[in-house]
Homo-oligomer: A and B are copies of this chain.
Amino acid sequence: MMTKKRIAVDMDEVMADSIARFQEWYGRDFQLELTLEALHGKSAADAVAPEHQPALRAYPNAVGFFRDLPVIKDSQRVLQELAQRYEIFIATAAMEFPNSFLDKYQWLQRHFAFIPWPNYVFCGDKSIINADYLIDDNAYNFDNFRGEGLLFNAPHNAHETRYRRVHSWQEIAEILL
């Protein structure tokens, strides 16, 4: 029997557009715009004035931050195709933000109902993930990962050069399908 290879997929900025929420809340709280240019090579908190940074660092642990996030383009279609050929697990570093647990769980149920909940992993250190591929926007998650990392392009990781970069779900489809 051929066993399927396994792909682990990060949520934020890979499946869910959390930058959109940072932009929305930053505009709401400070009447300022958080541009993609400002986010180049930086986390959202590091991209704003020092006096606004504590607020932005706190956003992801506010209940509701992860609720109703927009879905990243093509992620549903490509993951549905990948699920025919691979085992798909969701691996999100939710432990950093305990108030995000239910939002993330419900978001997955709503937008990726074809991935069953036994395949959700809320973790911290992703070296615990036993998979062949990890698609993630944070390169440090690949450092002790046993499989192959695919770095999902995001403004903050612009300067990262150590891992294979993918720019879209369409590009992932071309590599893995």
Contacts and interface: CB of A to CB of B under 8 A. Distances in A.
Interface of A: 6, 8, 89, 91, 94-96, 98-99, 101-102, 105, 116-125, 127-131, 146
Contacts of A89: 125, 128
Contacts of A125: 89, 118-119
Contacts of A128: 6, 8, 89, 91, 119, 121, 129-131
A128 B116 CA distance: 14
Given A95-B122, A98-B105, 18 more contacts: A8-B128, A89-B128, A91-B128, A95-B105, A95-B117, A95-B120, A96-B117, A99-B102, A101-B122, A116-B124, A118-B123, A118-B125, A119-B125, A120-B124, A122-B122, A128-B131, A129-B130, A130-B146
Contact of A123 (B96, B122, B131): B122
Given A98-B105, A102-B98, A105-B95, A124 B130 contact: no
A143 B96 CA distance: 30
A98 B95 contact: no
20 contacts: A89-B125, A94-B122, A95-B118, A95-B120, A96-B117, A98-B101, A98-B102, A98-B105, A101-B122, A118-B125, A119-B124, A120-B123, A121-B122, A121-B124, A121-B128, A122-B122, A122-B123, A127-B130, A128-B131, A130-B130
